[in-house]
Chains A and B, each alone.
Chain A
Amino acid sequence: GAVVSQHPSWVICKSGTSVKIECRSLDFQATTMFWYRQFPKQSLMLMATSNEGSKATYEQGVEKDKFLINHASLTLSTLTVTSAHPEDSSFYICSARVPGGAGDTQYFGPGTRLTVL
């Protein structure tokens, strides 16, 4: 099946720095990718929808200037957490939508754990 990778799998950074997380579709092209955030013992919360070649669509309450999303190619979307603070520590998961896939299937990456000190 379709494979989505994320890099890095985990990252620790100092407060005030920026961190970039990459999401790649390895064997298919994805016009749409999604970014989720998951807190411990909570559900995945959709942060934004990333469309190749256009601006991302952010969910209500998500700061677009803090969570910068770039979907510059059909196989790569990046999420940059700018000026990270400890409250940004979380598990970030991306998914990629298979164009024309049966039932509109999304394939998920393994996630990136961000810890901000």
Chain B
Amino acid sequence: GDSVTQMEGPVTLSEEAFLTINCTYTATGYPSLFWYVQYPGEGLQLLLKATKADDKGSNKGFEATYRKETTSFHLEKGSVQVSDSAVYFCALRLTGTASKLTFGTGTRLQVTL
């Protein structure tokens, strides 16, 4: 079945460090790919998305490129801030599945001064 695999956390970085959170997927069709972020005490928020191969999603300094050949959608940011501390979820949605999302397990990011 369809699945999403994320690197286990927590990931602890110093402010201004480079961030990579790995995400790979398994899908029978051609999924859309998403990154959601959950700040403490809040609901998941869509961070970025890509709907087809080679698309790059970007938002708030974060970016991820849809790599069909490696079935990956790794999240990157060049310089993290303390305010980026949150849990990040990678997810996929198959076309025509009525918005059903399949999530990874989430990766907690902790950024320190």
Identify whether the interface residues of A are mostly helix, strand, loop, or mixed.
strand
User: Which residue in B46, B89, B105, B106 is a CB contact (below 8 Å) of A105?
Assistant: B46
Q: Which residues of A contact B43 (CB under 8 A)?
A: 4, 6, 93, 95, 107-111
Question: Which one of A13-21, A36-44, A63-71 is at the B interface?
Answer: A36-44
> Are B4 and A104 interface neighbours, CB within 8 A?
no
- For B, the interface residue count at a CB cutoff of 8 angstroms equals 23
> Are B89 and A43 interface neighbours, CB within 8 A?
yes
Q: Among residues 71 to 113 in chain B, which have CB atoms less than 8 Å away from a CB atom of chain A?
A: 89, 93, 98-106
- Asked if B51 CB lies within 8 Å of chain A CBs, one says yes
- For A, the interface residue count at a CB cutoff of 8 angstroms equals 23
Q: Which residues of B contact A44 (CB under 8 A)?
A: 44, 89, 101, 103
Q: Which residues of B contact A49 (CB under 8 A)?
A: 98, 100
- A44 CA / B101 CA spacing, docked (Å): 9
- Residue-wise, chain B 47-66 has the 8 Å CB interface mask toward A (1 for contact) of 00101000000000000000
Q: Which residues of A contact B26 (CB under 8 A)?
A: none
Which residue of chain B has its CB nearest to the CB of A51? B98
> Are B105 and A110 interface neighbours, CB within 8 A?
no
- A49 CA / B49 CA spacing, docked (Å): 22
- Residue-wise, chain A 33-73 has the 8 Å CB interface mask toward B (1 for contact) of 01000000111101001000000000000000000000000
Which residue of chain A has its CB nearest to the CB of B41? A110
**A residues near B, CB below 8 A?**
1, 4, 6, 32, 34, 41-44, 46, 49, 93, 95, 97, 103-111
- 5 A-B pairs closest in CB distance: A108-B43, A108-B44, A43-B103, A44-B103, A110-B43
